[in-house]
Amino acid sequence: MTTPDAAAIAPDRHGLDEVVELCRDLIRIDTSNFFDGTGPGERPAAEFVAHRLDEAGIDSTLLEAAPRRTSVVARIPGRDRSRPALLVHGHLDVVPADPHHWSVHPFSGEIRDGCLWGRGAVDMKNMNAMILAAVRQLARSGELPARDVVLAFLPDEEAGGHHGSRWLATHHRDLLDDCDQAVSEIGGFSVDLSGTDRRVYLVETARKGVAWLRLRARGTRGHGSLLTDDNATARLAGAVTRLARHVWPLELTPTTTRMTDELRRLTGIDVTEDDLGRTPLAPLAGLIGASLRHVANPTVLRAGDTINVIPSEAEALVDGRFVHGLHEEFLRTVGELAGPGVEMEILDFTASAETDPHGTLVDAMHRALRAEDPAATVIPYCSAASTDNASFAPLGIQGFGFAPLQLPPGFDFASMFHGTDERVPVESLRFGARALYRFLTDN
């Protein structure tokens, strides 16, 4: 059997252009995840996905970990069924959005200034739409993917995947048993290098780990008018201040070392020392900077319920992200910064990971991108954020981030994640659908 490569396959651009409407329809389905089970749930979006797959003759199964927390799983046979399957997945939930702070309604799916606006346009209904467009076009054309592809559209990623990827990996492992690699979000996006003929696409081959923490201080409850040296709120405030002001040192891994070396070679920019905000890499400053060191951000504070009572307890929630292989050092340092009289509790822990950036899967990503963009250069990087890939890693499935987007110069991609006025360029969506189609037929 002759195996086509990415450059030899000419996607039907008209057929794949439906990616814009697919993404628009998904954005209009409110799947806000409030972390407490009070949201609308992902069932309507899951049913939309299942219907679109059914239209293309692709059978799927709907599974629920809890009412309205719905996953969609499907399998597409490939040309070589003796190979392990590829898991391609995306999450259907989004973080909440307050319409009062947006230029457009966050669930309107409005197209303005060449962009599709709305919550999920980047995180990650864009990728869900690209997956749907690519596999629907495969079905229409009669083309088969290189190997079996397992599709999973999942709920609850934003809250840790307990009703989604973690539940699926635990309770329906049989659906994933023959998968050895997985592809999902936060990778494959571009940045232009001014003064060169190159365009860099960062592909996630590693990810930092997650430690969601609770810091709790205890003190003596009393009247707010009295002197006290045992104030829980003050003790906690000191811990939070020390943590927020701490400058974490640079911690390079094999992946981030290769990334920094490659970017220095291509641009002359030393991402470990230079102010990226003043360089062509400015749109990636936040993503790159956070990948090179631990991060611990206090996000929630709770203490007291009335102004004239000193509370006996105060607590802070901390979003911790640690560099691969260094979780013990990270937790020890947080505990030291919290100081005496402040307890630390791990609320949720997700392991970090590094995969092989030299493998054939990354090569296939590069070929797919170069076929659509001859200026493309792929550089592996470490994602500062975790994804559903982390839930599948214990099953022996290597996770990669490849949601391909050719972005306009200067587009602030990082700020779109969980940000106000989240949007994605329409042409970037179309590019991504074409690149993903090529990738699925050649990996």
Burial bucket for residue 219 (CB in 10 Å: 0-12, 13-18, 19+): buried
Report which secondary-structure segment, H or E, holds 212. Answer: strand 209-218
**Region of residue 35 (left: phi > 0; alpha: psi -120 to 50; beta: else):** left
Query: In degrees, to the nearest 5, what angle opens at C-alpha 154 toward C-alphas 92 and 210?
Result: 95
Alpha helices in 7-160 (DSSP H): 13-16, 19-27, 43-55, 125-141
Q: Which residues have CB under 8 Å from 149's CB, separation 6+?
A: 75, 76, 78, 85, 86, 87, 88, 135, 440
**Region of residue 396 (left: phi > 0; alpha: psi -120 to 50; beta: else):** left
Q: Which of 18, 123, 156, 157 is catalytic?
A: 157
Q: Which of 18, 42, 93, 192 is catalytic?
A: 93
Task: Record the tokens describing residue 85, joined without a space.
Answer: 């399957």
**What is the β-pairing status of strands 295-303 and 313-322?**
antiparallel
Task: Record the tokens describing residue 323, joined without a space.
Answer: 């560099």
Q: Residues 114, 426: contact at Cβ < 8 Å?
A: yes
Q: Residues 390, 399: contact at Cβ < 8 Å?
A: yes
Q: Residues 205, 398: contact at Cβ < 8 Å?
A: no
Task: Record the tokens describing residue 249, joined without a space.
Answer: 């040192």
Q: Residues 140, 31: contact at Cβ < 8 Å?
A: no
* CA atoms within 13 Å, Cβ hemisphere of 169: 20
Q: Residues 283, 413: contact at Cβ < 8 Å?
A: yes
- What three-state secondary structure class fits 378? strand
93 part of the active site? yes
Question: What 8-state DSSP symbol labels residue 306?
Answer: S
345 part of the active site? no
Distance CA 91, CA 366 (A): 24
Residues known to be catalytic: 93, 157
